[in-house]
Amino acid sequence: MADGIEHHTTGGITRRATLAGAVAALGLAAAGTPTSLRAAAPFTFASIDGGTLALGDWAGRPVLVVNTASLCAFTPQYEELQTLWERYRERGLVVLAVPSNDFRQELGSEEEVREFCEVTFGLDLPMTEITRVRGPSAHPFYRWLAAEHGFRPRWNFNKVLIGPDGMPVRSWGSGASPLSASVVGEIEALLDP
């Protein structure tokens, strides 16, 4: 493929095909997007707990980024995301939840989201503030995924696995369980032994 990334029939990323293809794709990066192999590293998010979550702080580690919502039929996946975080964080995995109201299923404030997630699911994984993930006012990370890698969340709980090199490895839709063999297999292949 021209961009060096294999895609699902739904347009999501499935695997990094070649390093050369990834470099070629990045050479055409739009203004304001990264142009190195650590492509995701320059992006930062506002943390729901205050401060900043910088993808660059997790360089060299796989990061599963999931756009989430508190009032969605897929919201119980938070429990599985927490399980992934607990099971694999010592081996390098980061699970980043990105609450979004783009599909009109998020609570009204960061405080409500944080309290709901802590009380209902015992979440302690990294979480951003409520963030746009689609369209021209989407967070720059999601604009980069759309422009450079053809990935746009179609609904809540779409998942993108960023490899240790900062490049997207694979994506899954809402229906893919975070603990499915497909998701876990891709993650385990990238983890420290």
Q: In this structure, what CATH number is given to the domain that contains residue 29?
A: 3.40.30.10
**Of 167, 100, 156, nearest to 132 (Cα)?**
100
**Of 191, 62, 58, 68, nearest to 127 (Cα)?**
68
**pLDDT score, position 17:** 33
Q: Which two tokens stand for residue 86?
A: 């607990």
| Phi, psi (deg, nearest 5) at residue 15 | -155, 155
Helices (H), 33-190: 77-88, 110-121, 140-149, 181-190
The range of the structural domain enclosing residue 132 comes to 5-190
**pLDDT score, position 178:** 98
Question: What are 15's strand-pairing partners?
Answer: 6
The answer to whether the beta carbons of residues 64 and 84 sit under 8 Å apart is: yes
**pLDDT score, position 41:** 75
The answer to whether the beta carbons of residues 156 and 113 sit under 8 Å apart is: no
For residue 117, indicate whether it is catalytic: no
pTM: 0.82
pLDDT in tens, the chain (193 residues): 233 333 333 344 433 333 333 323 333 233 343 443 346 878 999 999 999 999 999 999 999 999 999 999 999 999 999 999 999 999 999 999 999 999 999 999 999 999 999 999 999 999 999 999 999 999 999 999 998 899 999 999 999 999 999 999 999 999 999 999 999 999 999 997 7
Q: Which residues contact 162 (CB under 8 A, 6 or more apart)?
A: 40, 55, 62, 63, 64, 65, 168, 169
- Find the catalytic residue in 5, 65, 72, 107: 72
**pLDDT score, position 193:** 75
**pLDDT score, position 40:** 82
Q: How far apart are CA 41 and CA 183, in angstroms?
A: 22
**pLDDT score, position 23:** 29
Question: What are 159's strand-pairing partners?
Answer: 66, 172
Structural domain total, the chain: 1
